[in-house]
């Protein structure tokens, strides 16, 4: 079961309301309450929680957000909404994914946040996400909403020998190849952005670069990608051709659907 910290006025109607939402039956331990961001910060430093909830638009929301950033904490933060059923569904879905049991290894929360982020971007790129609106909702809870607001660069990639390469030479599956290409090649070639790649089929892929901070150098990104596909050819003997490139205004399903 999950343990939540809620930032609310003690004894308020809201406290009683959310106590009836986050119950043992819905998968939660007894709630812990804090009156403000300062008290919440002290509790987070001394105790273990799976997420912290705040009232939207409250002073505590911004203060606690800044505090968690300063603490370099990966703790999810969610807003207490009137749509309690939707709030509960989204939170449980995210927490279940962050705490999935891999049986043979204990993956730190920070790494799981990275894995979930990659999965969300991947599903946007390949169009497999059934509910695209889950991306902004989850990114806000993961405190990665800045990814939604910045312009990104998207490339369509052609891989002429991809089918034969995946069946005859690379025996670890497409997801491992996607990860290897980004981690070992594209991310290293351009540390100013995070690169995500998704195979659409065995002969084509789509890749996106999300700038880390500041003004994005899209021309520099294009040059880095061109150099990197040559390196991939040299090291992996995998030919990748750039079929097209475009800048999208943000990381949303709507923007990606109109790209290229």
How many angstroms separate the most distant Cα atoms in the chain? 66
Q: Are 178 and 91 in contact (CB under 8 A)?
A: no
pLDDT of residue 249: 87
Burial category of 131 from C-beta neighbours within 10 Å (exposed 0-12, middle 13-18, buried 19 and up): exposed
pLDDT of residue 103: 53
Nearest-angstrom CA–CA distance, 180 and 174: 10
Residue in the block written with tokens 């904490």:
73
Nearest-angstrom CA–CA distance, 28 and 87: 14
* Position 151 pLDDT exceeds 80: yes
Which of the 8 DSSP states describes residue 114? H
pLDDT of residue 12: 66
pLDDT band at 14 (very low <50, low <70, confident <90, very high): confident
pLDDT tens sequence across 76-114: 999 998 888 999 999 999 999 999 865 556 788 999 999
Tokens (6 digits) for 192: 């100013």
Q: Under CATH, which architecture does the 150-257 domain have?
A: 2-Layer Sandwich (3.30)
* Position 260 pLDDT exceeds 90: no
- pLDDT greater at residue 213 or residue 65: 65
Q: Are 255 and 147 in contact (CB under 8 A)?
A: no
**Average pLDDT score, the chain:** 89
Tokens (6 digits) for 184: 């070992």
- pLDDT greater at residue 27 or residue 126: 27
Nearest-angstrom CA–CA distance, 107 and 95: 14
Does the pTM surpass 0.95? The reply is no
């Amino acid at each position: 079961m999950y343990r939540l910290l809620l930032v609310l006025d003690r004894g308020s109607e809201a406290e009683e309301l959310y106590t009836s939402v986050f119950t043992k039956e819905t998968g939660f331990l007894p709630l812990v309450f804090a009156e403000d961001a300062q008290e919440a910060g002290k509790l987070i430093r001394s105790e273990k929680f799976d997420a912290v909830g705040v009232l939207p638009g409250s002073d505590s929301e911004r203060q606690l957000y800044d505090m968690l950033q300063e603490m370099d904490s990966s703790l999810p933060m969610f807003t207490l909404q009137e749509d309690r059923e939707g709030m509960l569904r989204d939170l449980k879905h995210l927490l279940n994914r962050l705490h999935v049991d891999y049986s043979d290894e204990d993956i730190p929360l920070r790494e799981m946040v990275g894995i979930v982020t990659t999965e969300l971007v991947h599903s946007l790129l390949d169009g497999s996400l059934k509910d695209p609106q889950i991306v902004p909702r989850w990114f806000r809870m993961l405190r990665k909403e800045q990814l939604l607001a910045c312009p990104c660069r998207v490339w369509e990639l052609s891989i002429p020998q991809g089918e034969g390469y995946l069946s005859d030479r690379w025996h670890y599956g497409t997801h491992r190849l996607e990860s290897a290409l980004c981690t070992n090649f594209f991310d290293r070639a351009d540390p100013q952005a995070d690169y995500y790649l998704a195979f659409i089929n065995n002969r084509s892929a789509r890749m996106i670069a999300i700038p880390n901070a500041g003004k994005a150098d899209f021309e520099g990104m294009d040059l880095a990608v061109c150099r990197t596909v040559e390196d991939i050819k040299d090291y992996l003997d995998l030919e990748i051709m750039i079929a097209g490139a475009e800048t999208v205004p943000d990381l949303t399903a709507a923007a990606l659907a109109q790209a290229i």
